[in-house]
């Protein structure tokens, strides 16, 4: 037999290898193998089996990695699609579907010594006092790790070995799984009673899950298909939903890319529920329905929202009862060993629910019945390195391939997803009220221009916000203050000569971190000590100033304004240890913290009933970036942060401090009006042919010599015009310097492609980039459907 192997080298080729007789029963499609490649030994994945090869003198597979295939045929098919659509070598796409901890040549299992009590045969031997104390612990536990016994009994391994010599115990080496939540005391929970809007949403999802094979070639006119699902690509219930919210909807042209054939719209749901409307409970009950069907599920959560609180909700629901199953967690905060063990729980079928960040979409859940993408609008679902896939879009493709239902959930859906609902590709489910009739928080926009006129400098806190914080402290209620910028000050400036401390590697200013007394670049990580005098030539002014503000300065100012308040800051500067995130949130939940200051990691997925006030320090921060999504991102962030307030019995209040208080993104967020924001934003996107009405590809060239990069970009433009000629409605913009013109010592130039359909463009791009001649020190990155234009 011949194995076709894709190596972990970006060669865009498969290589044939002989399967030695001793490996014939072990090698299958998806097996990880070690093979000879020239003088080296390289790891790869078997992508096909054949009986003969066009090549002669084939070399043999050296080694099979793992006892079972690691890449299932379904995941292999998904990896091939990622390689084709996102213009990356198939080897890179295949490499991305397995965690590093699983791809290693050596098995990553942890082995530990375990002590077990043996049945006592005959008379019990006489033991010294110390050995008897140890025996009493073993007799009670019957089985436990040796090290745990030594620590508990405050003894030595030699003492325990004496008991083994006397035939009372056996000590064996066994695999000990690493469970990141082993020390957590998670109490089981029961399904909650749903309100009418939750029942309607869940019923539609369950009906779709009950239809076997829907979306994979099934005849939608079959009598087995419920009437609720026999909707055309653009159905009446969807039109009614839009009429209720006062929005006009235009039907989609039949030839639109990925236009629904009547099946996809009924397999993909957009659950648009305001913050606190009970989306998580719908997820949990939909997961239970998948388990009842004997299927598994994947829950995607943005890395930043993957808090212990979020994970505990899912583990608590399925920790006992008839639907009890292991819930495996996959994210970057786990150790390599924990990731290895959690992944294998899924592959072995012991864990039927996988919850994790974007890479969890490749979890080997089989059979797969449901995929949930929570906070589907989050830009962190987009991978920054090759393959630059978007986990939300990969989830939809995987759902189509495996006949699984996909639920996209958000209080602030992405423009793309909501647009797909209006065109009939997805089914829209709306929940516009909070559970238990709790009111949405009152949002007050504070015009900081007025506050600035009263004082000499820009204040951090407006008088209104200061008074509101004081009231919460007096009432023993909690406050969250949000500023999406860490550090103390954003720049160091000299008022005499105008010198600004900038990064030598990037085109950004250095941020001042007061506690560490350093200037730091938040792009490349460069640091340097804080100068006592202006470093500018012929200056030396000792009165250098720090401009701007970050979370560190907010925390410092709060401590001076409210000396008796218990204040804590949460950003990547304060979360250094693995359990810091859990510890701070635990203290906040139990009322040990009065005011929590943080960046976007406190903006989503947190539920604290005693939080009645949220203050957004500087709402304009991302509003004026050179990105067509700046308004959308600001609207989403303000709405999400505001949603942390008023989740208990007391109505919440939100203060939004802004220097552009009448910007549409801020005003629509104030009114919690997603529909109004969507309508005006779509009009702007249609005029300029930006997503969602078109698709975008961003081509970025970078190199250390700016002139070479610029010439290469001009050459690329000419090659693109030749390769993409004939594509309808194609717009090529650039080349131009990137918004971040220099990063990590590399100069950057960009070209943007906009087209109605991307599949044909990406195929031609992949072919063109393979043959494109560029200087050795200039590299090209292709990003299909980018979410960040910097």
Q: What is the DSSP annotation of 485-525?
A: --SSBSEEE-TTT--B-B-SSSSSBPEEETTTTEEE-TTT-
Residue 746: phi and psi, rounded to 5, are: -110, 130
- Give the chain's radius of gyration (CA, Å): 29
What pLDDT, on a 0 to 100 scale, did the predictor assign at position 181? 66
Q: DSSP letter for 594, please.
A: S
Q: Environment class of residue 487 by beta-carbon count within 10 Å: exposed (0-12), middle (13-18) or buried (19+)? A: buried
In 3-state terms, what secondary structure has residue 35? strand
Residue 49: phi and psi, rounded to 5, are: -120, 145
Q: Which secondary-structure segment (H or E) carries 444?
A: strand 442-447
Length of the chain: 790
Which tokens go with 159? Answer: 């003492």
CA dihedral 604, 608, 614, 620 (to 10 degrees): -10
Query: pLDDT averaged over consecutive 10-residue blocks of the chain (790 residues)?
Result: 83 85 85 86 86 83 79 88 88 84 65 80 80 84 82 84 83 73 74 89 91 47 38 31 34 34 65 87 93 92 72 84 82 78 86 90 91 92 91 93 93 92 90 81 85 71 89 89 84 84 88 85 88 84 82 88 89 74 81 86 71 86 84 87 73 87 90 89 89 91 92 92 85 89 91 87 86 88 88
What pLDDT, on a 0 to 100 scale, did the predictor assign at position 260? 32
CA 144 to chain CA centroid, nearest Å: 37
Work out whether strand 40-50 and strand 63-65 pair parallel, antiparallel, or are unpaired: unpaired
pTM of the model: 0.82
CB atoms within 10 A of CB 11: 13
Contacts of 772 (CB under 8 A, 6+ apart): 716, 719, 780
Q: Which secondary-structure segment (H or E) carries 47?
A: strand 40-50
DSSP string, 277-313: S-HHHHHHHHHHHHHHTT-EEEEE--GGG--HHHHHH
What pLDDT, on a 0 to 100 scale, did the predictor assign at position 307? 65
Instruction: Mark out the alpha helices in 189-278 (DSSP H runs).
Output: 196-210, 236-244
Strand partners of residue 780: 701
* b/e per residue 289-313 (b: at least 16 CB within 10 A): bbbeeebbbbbbbbbbbbbbbbbbb
What pLDDT, on a 0 to 100 scale, did the predictor assign at position 644? 75
Strand partners of residue 60: 18
What pLDDT, on a 0 to 100 scale, did the predictor assign at position 238? 31
């Amino acid at each position: 037999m011949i194995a076709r192997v894709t190596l972990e080298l970006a060669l865009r080729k498969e290589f044939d290898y002989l399967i030695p007789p001793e490996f014939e029963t072990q090698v299958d499609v998806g097996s990880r193998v070690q093979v000879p490649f020239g003088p080296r030994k390289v790891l790869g994945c078997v992508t096909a089996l054949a009986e003969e090869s066009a090549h002669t003198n084939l070399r043999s597979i050296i080694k099979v990695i793992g006892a079972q295939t690691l890449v299932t045929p379904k995941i292999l098919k998904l990896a091939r699609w990622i390689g084709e659509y996102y213009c990356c070598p198939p080897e890179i796409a295949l490499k991305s579907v397995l965690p590093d901890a699983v791809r290693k040549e050596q098995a990553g299992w942890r082995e530990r010594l375990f002590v077990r009590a043996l049945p006592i045969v005959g008379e019990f031997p006489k033991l010294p006092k110390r050995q008897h104390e140890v025996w009493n612990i073993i007799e009670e536990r019957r089985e436990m790790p040796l090290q745990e016994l030594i620590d508990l009994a405050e003894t030595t391994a030699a003492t325990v070995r004496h008991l083994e010599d006397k035939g009372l115990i056996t000590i064996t080496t066994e695999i000990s799984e690493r469970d990141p939540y082993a020390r957590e005391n998670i109490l089981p929970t029961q399904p909650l009673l749903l309100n009418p809007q939750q029942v309607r949403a869940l019923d539609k999802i369950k009906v779709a899950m009950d239809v076997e094979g829907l979306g994979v070639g099934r005849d939608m006119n079959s009598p087995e298909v419920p009437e609720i699902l026999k909707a055309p690509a653009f159905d009446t219930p969807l039109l009614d939903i839009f009429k209720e919210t006062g929005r006009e909807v235009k039907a989609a042209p039949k030839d639109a890319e990925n236009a629904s054939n009547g099946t996809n719209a009924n397999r993909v749901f957009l659950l648009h529920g305001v913050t606190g409307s009970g989306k998580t409970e719908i997820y949990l009950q939909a997961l239970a329905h998948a388990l009842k069907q004997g299927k598994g599920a994947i829950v995607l959560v943005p890395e930043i929202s993957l808090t212990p609180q979020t994970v505990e909700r899912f583990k608590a629901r399925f920790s006992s009862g008839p639907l009890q199953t292991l819930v495996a967690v996959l994210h970057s905060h786990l150790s390599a060993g924990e990731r290895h063990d959690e992944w294998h729980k899924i592959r072995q079928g012991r864990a039927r629910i996988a919850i994790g960040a974007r890479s969890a979409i490749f979890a080997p859940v089989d059979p797969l019945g449901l995929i949930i993408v929570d906070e589907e609008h989050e830009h962190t679902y987009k991978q920054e390195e090759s393959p630059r896939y978007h986990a939300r879009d990969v989830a939809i493709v995987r759902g189509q391939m495996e006949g699984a239902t996909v639920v996209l959930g958000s209080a602030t859906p992405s423009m793309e997803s909501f647009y797909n609902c209006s065109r009939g590709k997805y089914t829209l489910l709306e929940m516009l009220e909070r559970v238990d009739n709790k009111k949405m928080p009152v949002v007050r926009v504070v015009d900081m221009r007025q506050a600035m006129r009263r004082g000499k400098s820009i204040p951090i806190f407006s008088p209104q916000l200061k008074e509101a914080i004081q009231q919460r402290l007096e009432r023993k209620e909690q406050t969250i203050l949000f500023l999406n910028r860490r550090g103390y000050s954003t720049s160091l400036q000299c008022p005499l000569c105008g010198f600004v401390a900038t990064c030598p590697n990037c085109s950004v200013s250095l941020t001042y971190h007061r506690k560490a007394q350093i200037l730091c670049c938040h792009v490349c990580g460069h640091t340097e000590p804080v100068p006592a005098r202006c470093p500018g030539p012929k200056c030396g002014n000792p009165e250098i100033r720090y401009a701007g503000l970050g979370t560190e300065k907010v925390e410092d100012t709060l401590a001076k304004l409210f000396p008796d308040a218990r204040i804590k800051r949460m950003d990547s500067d304060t979360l250094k240890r693995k359990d810091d995130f859990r510890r701070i949130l635990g203290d906040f939940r139990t009322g040990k913290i009065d005011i929590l200051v943080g960046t976007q990691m406190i903006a989503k997925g947190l539920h604290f009933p005693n939080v009645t006030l949220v203050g957004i320090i500087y709402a304009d921060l991302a509003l004026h970036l050179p990105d067509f999504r700046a308004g959308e991102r600001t609207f989403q962030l303000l709405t999400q942060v505001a949603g942390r307030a008023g989740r208990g019995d007391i109505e919440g209040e939100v203060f939004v401090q802004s220097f552009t208080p009448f910007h549409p993104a801020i005003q629509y967020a104030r009114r919690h009006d997603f529909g109004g924001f969507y309508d005006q934003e779509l009009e702007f996107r249609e005029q300029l042919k930006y997503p969602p009405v078109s698709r975008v590809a961003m081509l970025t060239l970078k190199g250390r010599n700016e002139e070479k990069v610029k010439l290469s970009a001009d050459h690329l433009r000419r090659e693109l015009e030749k390769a993409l000629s004939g594509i309808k409605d194609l717009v090529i913009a650039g080349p131009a310097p990137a918004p971040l013109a220099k990063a990590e010592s590399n100069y950057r130039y960009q070209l943007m492609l906009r087209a109605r359909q991307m599949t044909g463009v990406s195929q031609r791009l992949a072919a063109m980039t393979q043959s494109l001649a560029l200087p050795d020190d200039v590299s090209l990155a292709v990003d299909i459907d980018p979410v960040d234009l910097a």
